[in-house]
Each structure stands twice: as structure tokens, then as C-alpha cells.
Structure 1
Amino acid sequence: MLLGAIVNALAIVIGTTIGTWIPGIGERTKSTILQGLSLAVILIGLSMALSDTADLLIIVVSMAIGGALGEWMGIEPWLNRVGQRIESRFKTIGTGRVAQAFVTASLVFCVGSMSIVGAIQSGVQGQNDTLYVKSMLDGFTAIIFASTFGPGVYLAAVVVLVYEGAIALAARVIGMALANEAVIACLTATGGLLIVGIGLTILGVKKIAVGNLLPAMLVAAVLKGLAPHVNHALHAWWHLG
């Protein structure tokens, strides 16, 4: 049940190790790679965000509510503090970009339909093929991230393991109730907007507190899940009126 999540985390560790040991990458080359990666991240985010245009209202409301919740909870500062504390304790990591690597890589590796659907398949069906494919993609991405951001990308492997493992365990307990394609589509589209925010931040266009917007994904899933029941109640009230 957890094998897919474990393989995914190991792929990130291997990719990060390779990326941190690639010699002879100059600053200009790193900058060019980073810009190209940023554009690719934005493209991925846009493709995800536009995959569910039927739920635009839910996505907009979720971003507003989720952003307010994230600011109240202080998620972005907390994520940054985690990376900074680890960096201060392990000076050998010392690129000065551990927090950015941790936040960026974790979001890129976790946000998306492959993580959610793959983990649900692992939990409900014990089938890990989707997560195996994602592992290969994440491994190659980790090489690029590590070569530009540094070893802080290692921390994302822990986040991926916990995130996908938790979804797989929840899917095993709750069963097929989680396998709601409409909810997953809405959640993925909302996550796509967060990915776009990551790309814009990496490019230096605008620093967006993407961490504080994370609750928007949960809000979107809840609102989408409740939407049919609300519509049914409204129709019943209308006919009774």
C-alpha cells in the first residue's frame, strides 16, 4: 500500500544526490536552467488549472477562503522557519536557499492529480503504477532542482512520503468514497494555480506566498464535494416553495 510513496521519495533522494554532485555548472547556466524550469512549471500549472473550467467559481472562492485561512495560520512563515532552522543546524547544507528549495520542491512534487490519484490507487487497489511513473518524472525534476536550489530538495522527499502515504492510508480506511473524480479535478485545478504562483516567484516576477494559499486546495475539495448536496437542497426548497 505504501510502496508507491516510498519509491517516489527514494527517486527524489537519488535525483537530488545526482543534482548536487553535477560539476561545472556556472551561475549563468544555472540562471538559464532556472528560467527554463520556471517557464515549464508555469506551463504545468496552467495546464492543470485549465483542466477544470467548469468549476471556476468554486476555485475563485476557494482561493479567497484558503488564502485568508493560510494567512491566519501563518503557513508560509512556518514553512520558511522549518527550512531555516534545519539550515542553521546543518551548516554543511549551507547554500542559503534551503527554505526556498524545501517549499518549492515540496509543492511541485505534491500538487497534482498524479499524487492524489496514484496514492488513492495504492490505498484502495494496492496498484502503484501511477506513482512509479511519477517517481521517474520527479527523479529527473529533482536533478534540476538540486543543481539550482541545492540539497534542500532532500527535505521534499519526506514531505512526499508523508503526503502520499497519508492519502493512501486514508483511502484504505475510507475506501472508494475518496475516489471522486470531480473532486480530484477541482482540487487539481486549484493546485495548478498554486503551481503558476511558484513559477512566477522563481522567475522573480512577483513573490507570491504560495504556502499561505495551500488551504485553498482543501477548501476546493470540500466545496466541490458539498456542491451536489447543496444543489439538491436548493432544488427541493424551490419546488416546496
Structure 2
Amino acid sequence: MVLLGTIVNTLAIILGSILGNMLTRIPEKIKQTVTQGMALVIVLLGIQMGLKTENSLYVIGSLVLGGIIGELFDLERLLNRFGYFLEKRVGTGKDGNIAKAFVTGTLVFVVGAMSIVGALDSGLRGDHSVLFTKAVLDGFLALIFSTTLGIGVIFSAVSVFLYEGIIAIFAKYIAMVIPHPLMGHFINEITATGGILIIAIGLNLLNITKIRTANLLPSIVVCALIVLIIYYWNISFT
């Protein structure tokens, strides 16, 4: 079953989110400290991901162009409106901001090598081991996030299902478009660009900054396109 790994990963996030949202008696001081601790881990994760780039110009170009696109469409505002729409139907999150929880969960669970590699393994070889491992990690993180950010984290499971599911289903076509020699480079640059966004999420959770992270989301797609264009046009920055 091509989507088995994706389904397990999605269910793990849903289960973790539900369990975390049930832990309502945790003292506020503990929630605050745990949130800060998780934010620091997210920053560290983002730094590790960001260092995977083989050429920082890919990341810079992606963030600049992606940021422009995101601001033109004002994705942050659209996601907040979506969050308010959900809040009216499921109740407010712990901070009254489902959109914040949704974006945080989506970036942490979706961006990264494990999502791409795991989904490709599922689609090409029927090997779901990477996504099974990721499911355990994501389930635990979803539990922690939902205790502090609220039920909005559960909606990031939809993003994970669509992202990993599409990659798994179209894995053979993706392998044809992205040759094996390019695949590692492709994954590294997308991971690095996503890492910068994850750092921004961590800094926002620490209340150090107020970066409109959602408006930078198009940079992931832009990065993929830049890598492909440069590869097929044989452009070199060195």
C-alpha cells in the first residue's frame, strides 16, 4: 500500500494532538517553560537543517522571491482568517490562535529530509520504515505542541497527509523529473530553506521576534524551482 507510511504518520500526529489537548491541568508556569524549551529545540533543528545547503545563494534567492510572493498574497492574513474560521467551529485554542498552531505544526512536521525521502521510499520501493520512524517523532512533538499551542496542531496532519501522500503517489514521476544525481542536492536545498523558516518559528515562540513566517512559505516551492532550473540550464554560481 503506497500510502501506508503517510497514513501512519498522519494518525500519529492526530493522536498526539488529541492526547496533548487533554492535558489541561498542567500549571501555566510548566507550559511556559516547556514551550520555551521546545522553541530552543526548534531553533537548533532549524540551524542543523539550514547548514545542509551546498550554496547559500539558493536559500537567499528562495527567501527573497518567496517572501515577495507571500507578501503579495498576504498568506499570513489568509491563514489567520482560516484559523478564525476553524475556531468558530471547534472552539478557540489555548492561546486563541489556531492558525499559529497550524503553521507551526505544518512547518515542523512537513519540512525536512525525512518527509521527502520517506515518501519517495514508500512510493518507489514500498518501504515505509522512514515514515514509521518519523511518525513516532511527530506524534511526540504533536503531543508537546498541543499542550501549549492548543488543538490547532491537529490540523497540520492534513498538510502532512497531502504533502507526503502526493510525493508517494507521484514518486515514479518525480524520480523521472529529478535524476538521482540531483536528488540529494534537491533535498538539501529544500531542507536548508525550510530550516530558516523553522528558526523563525522558534524565535516567534520565544517572543524574540514577530516574523510573518507564513509569508515565507512560498520560498520552499521557489527553492525547488530554482534548483531544477539551474540544473537543467547548467548554470553555475562557482
SS at match of 1:69: helix
Give the structure 2 partner of residue 158 of structure 1.
Answer: 158
Q: Identify which range, 111-120 or 72-81, moves more after superposition.
A: 72-81
Does the Cα contact within 8 Å between 1:87 and 1:94 map onto a contact in 2? no
Does the Cα contact within 8 Å between 2:66 and 2:219 map onto a contact in 1? yes
| Superposed counterparts of 1:40-189, under 5 Å | 40-52=41-53, 54-91=54-91, 96-178=96-178, 180-189=183-192
C-alpha distance in structure 1 between counterparts of 2:165 and 2:141, whole Å? 21
Give the TM-score, by structure 2 length: 0.92
SS at match of 1:81: helix
Does the Cα contact within 8 Å between 1:194 and 1:210 map onto a contact in 2? yes
Shift of 1:90: 2.4
| Superposed counterparts of 1:9-24, under 5 Å | 9-24=10-25
C-alpha spacing 1:228/1:91, structure 2 compared with 1 (3 Å): closer
C-alpha spacing 1:232/1:38, structure 2 compared with 1 (3 Å): closer
Q: Which runs of 5+ in 2 are unaligned?
A: none
Give the structure 1 partner of residue 208 of structure 2.
Answer: 205
C-alpha spacing 1:174/1:11, structure 2 compared with 1 (3 Å): same
Paired residue type of 1:144: I
Give the structure 2 partner of residue 238 of structure 1.
Answer: none
Shift of 1:43: 0.2
C-alpha spacing 1:33/1:23, structure 2 compared with 1 (3 Å): same
More helix by share: 1
Q: Which runs of 5+ in 1 are unaligned?
A: 235-241
Does the Cα contact within 8 Å between 1:114 and 1:130 map onto a contact in 2? yes
Give the TM-score, by structure 1 length: 0.91
C-alpha spacing 1:107/1:35, structure 2 compared with 1 (3 Å): same
What's the C-alpha RMSD, in Å, of the aligned pairs?
A: 1.9
C-alpha distance in structure 1 between counterparts of 2:235 and 2:21, whole Å? 54
Paired residue type of 2:184: E
C-alpha distance in structure 1 between counterparts of 2:11 and 2:56, whole Å? 36
Shift of 1:169: 1.7
The superposition leaves residues 142-170 of structure 1 with CA deviations (integer Å, 9 ceiling, x where unpaired) of 11001111111111111111111111122
Q: Percent identity at matched positions? A: 43
C-alpha distance in structure 2 between counterparts of 1:34 and 1:196, whole Å? 14
Does the Cα contact within 8 Å between 2:13 and 2:138 map onto a contact in 1? yes
C-alpha distance in structure 2 between counterparts of 1:4 and 1:199, whole Å? 28
Shift of 1:229: 3.2
The superposition leaves residues 122-152 of structure 1 with CA deviations (integer Å, 9 ceiling, x where unpaired) of 1122211111100000000011001111111
Please identify runs of 4+ aligned residues in structure 1 that moved more than 6 A: none
Question: Pick from 212, 217, 220: which aligns with 2:220?
Answer: 217
